[in-house]
């Protein structure tokens, strides 16, 4: 994402918030920061994957360097690791203050998936059907993505979506990723990939994670079991809890 695109998204979010509320409290879309961790779980280097103004780049560096992770273990031994953190900027005002504060929030971590634009699932666009899919997959050491399956889907009024989920899986299989590096070697990582297909783009600007229980979305009539599928913002790719690095002290992004 270029500096212009990222800044445009930020300004659009700020203007939208200002138009609807006196209190400023807005978050940007998530973005990745590549980090190196030493065997003790300390961050030794940060590299944002988007072009940022100098002030924001400094905020990323000064914040992430303070985060402490549980040491990553390989064959029972702590090792150095390179991974990608998913983060968001949070802009807000304190009560009775005019100054705008900003902070970096932690969303999660995992491989860096070089996602591409996706085709709208077959038959949904022409019929005005919105859909959200959570897929589970494996990022292999060579950067390929396989073992893809749909673990949760919601659609407008609960319309069936198993055929469309297959379309989404086929698109994801064409993506490439940068795998997590542990002790100098790439490793396989299980990930969840959440994608939304919404006819009205303006609606997508105001998405919150509680979309699962919000009109007009309902669990697809042929969706897999909903009970174990993770809740995450559409448009994110994160390592599953069993494969994700655990951060001890980062300020977490809210779930809605």
- The C-alpha R_g of the chain, in whole angstroms, comes to 19
The pLDDT, as a whole number, for residue 205 is 53
| pLDDT (average), residues 38-65 | 97
The pLDDT, as a whole number, for residue 12 is 47
The pLDDT, as a whole number, for residue 217 is 77
Residue 19's pLDDT band, with cuts at 50, 70 and 90, is very low
| pLDDT (average), residues 189-199 | 92
Q: Is the pLDDT of residue 236 over 80?
A: yes
Residues 71 and 19 in one domain: yes
CB 185 within 8 Å of CB 141: yes
Residue 192 resides in a domain: yes
pTM: 0.85
In tens, the pLDDT along 97-151 reads 778 899 999 999 999 999 788 889 889 988 889 899 999 999 999 999 999 999 9
**Owning domain of residue 46:** 3-110
Domain end marker among 110, 140, 170: 110
Q: Is the pLDDT of residue 7 over 70?
A: no
Q: Is the peptide bond before 216 cis (omega within 30 degrees of 0)?
A: yes
Give the domain CATH number at 163: 3.30.1150
In tens, the pLDDT along 215-231 reads 677 889 999 977 677 77
Residue 248 resides in a domain: no
Residues 76 and 164 in one domain: no
Q: Is the dihedral of CA 70, 71, 72, 73 positive or negative?
A: negative
| pLDDT (average), residues 44-68 | 97
Q: Which ranges of 82-214 would DSSP assign to H, the alpha helix? A: 162-172, 201-205
Residues 193 and 89 in one domain: no
Average pLDDT, the chain: 86
Q: Which residues contact 205 (CB under 8 A, 6 or more apart)?
A: 12, 13, 16
Domain end marker among 62, 81, 110: 110
The pLDDT, as a whole number, for residue 5 is 45
Query: How many domains is the chain built from?
Result: 2
| pLDDT (average), residues 43-59 | 96
Residues 97 and 140 in one domain: no
Residue 11's pLDDT band, with cuts at 50, 70 and 90, is very low
The b-or-e profile of 93-118 (16+ CB within 10 A means b, else e) is eeeeeeeeeeebbbbbbbbbbebeeb
- Ranges 14-18, 24-28, 60-64, 238-242: which has the least confidence: 14-18
In tens, the pLDDT along 145-182 reads 999 999 999 898 899 999 999 999 999 999 999 999 99
Residue 254 resides in a domain: no
Percent of residues, the chain, with pLDDT higher than 90? 61
41 or 197, which is more confident?
41
Cα angle value 52/54/55 (rounded, 5°): 100
Residue 252 resides in a domain: no
Domain end marker among 110, 128, 153: 110
């Amino acid at each position: 994402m270029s500096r212009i695109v990222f800044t445009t998204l930020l300004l659009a979010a700020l203007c939208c918030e200002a138009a609807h509320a006196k209190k400023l409290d807005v978050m940007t879309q998530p973005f990745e920061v590549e980090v190196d961790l030493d065997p003790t779980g300390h961050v030794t280097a940060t590299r944002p994957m988007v072009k940022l103004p100098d002030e924001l780049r400094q905020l990323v560096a000064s914040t992430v360097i303070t985060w402490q992770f549980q040491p990553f273990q390989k064959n029972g031994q702590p090792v150095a690791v390179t991974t990608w953190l998913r983060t968001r900027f949070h802009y807000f005002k304190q009560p009775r203050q005019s100054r705008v504060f900003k902070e970096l929030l932690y969303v999660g971590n995992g491989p860096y998936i070089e996602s591409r634009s996706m085709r709208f699932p077959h038959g949904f666009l022409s019929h005005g059907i919105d859909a959200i899919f959570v897929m589970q997959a494996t990022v292999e050491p060579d950067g390929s993505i396989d073992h893809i399956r749909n673990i949760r889907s919601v659609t407008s009024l609960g319309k069936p979506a198993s055929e469309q989920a297959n379309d989404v899986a086929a698109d994801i299989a064409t993506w490439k990723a940068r795998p997590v590096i542990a002790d100098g070697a790439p490793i396989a990582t299980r990930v969840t990939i959440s994608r939304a297909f919404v006819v009205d783009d303006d609606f997508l600007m105001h998405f919150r994670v509680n979309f699962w229980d919000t009109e007009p979305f309902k669990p697809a009539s042929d969706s897999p079991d909903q009970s174990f599928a993770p809740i995450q913002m559409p448009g994110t790719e994160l390592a599953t809890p069993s494969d994700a690095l655990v951060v001890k002290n980062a300020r977490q992004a809210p779930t809605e």
